[in-house]
Amino acid sequence: MKTILHHLRASIVITLLFTLILCGLYPLTIWSIGQIAFPHQANGSLITNPQGELLGSTLIGQNFTSPTYFHSRPSAAGPHGYDASSSSGSNLGPTSIKLADQIQQRITDYLSSNTIPPNTPIPADAVTASASGLDPHISPANAELQIPRIARARNLPENQIRQLVHQHTEPPSLGLLAPPRVNVLTLNLALDHQTP
């Protein structure tokens, strides 16, 4: 009986100690380091306008539908897309007929909205959702195909918009991880600062 009580007391003490360390001290330490060393990233990489109104996050995609803006890649998150509270992919496999139909419809919509000839190769990110459903980036090739539509809608020269795309193209992380990419929100905000 004495041995059982000894082991029970030791178990309770260790449980309380690890609860204090892993549920209190460790999260507080990591949170503090984030707030001191990387406050912008730790608080969601939020972008606000000069009036302090929240415009979005550079980490979460948004649904741009106007012809005057670059369009994000499709989203499978939530019923209306880009819902950060229900981040997920579609979970449709490569042999899924539903996925094939979705992609075919997205290709048709993409060609139509950008006035592109039918046999033009389209980047995969233009017609497929990311694994999270919230990817804020598109490929430079996807952005390039959208330039003529935006130039017409904004009455701007294509080269001016192309220059913006080049300025907002991020290189691979650490020089080798992931391909070059363009953050749609920051690019569209830069577009709003252009004058026709």
Q: Which of 137 and 134 is assigned the larger pLDDT? A: 137
- Is residue 114 over pLDDT 70? yes
Residue 101 structure tokens: 């139909």
pTM for the model: 0.80
Detail the DSSP E strand segments found in 64-175.
137-138, 169-170
Residues in CB range of 172: below 8 A, 6 or more apart: 178, 179, 180
How confident is the model over 29-46, as a mean pLDDT? 88
Residue 28 reports pLDDT greater than 80: yes
What's the pLDDT score for residue 79? 64
Mean pLDDT of the chain: 88
More confident residue, 194 or 98: 98
Task: Point out which residues pair with 138 in neighbouring strands.
Answer: 182
Domain range summary for the chain, segments of one domain joined by +: 2-41, 45-192
Q: At what angle do helices 140-154 and 184-192 cross, to 10 degrees?
A: 20
Cα distance between residue 121 and residue 126, in whole Å: 11
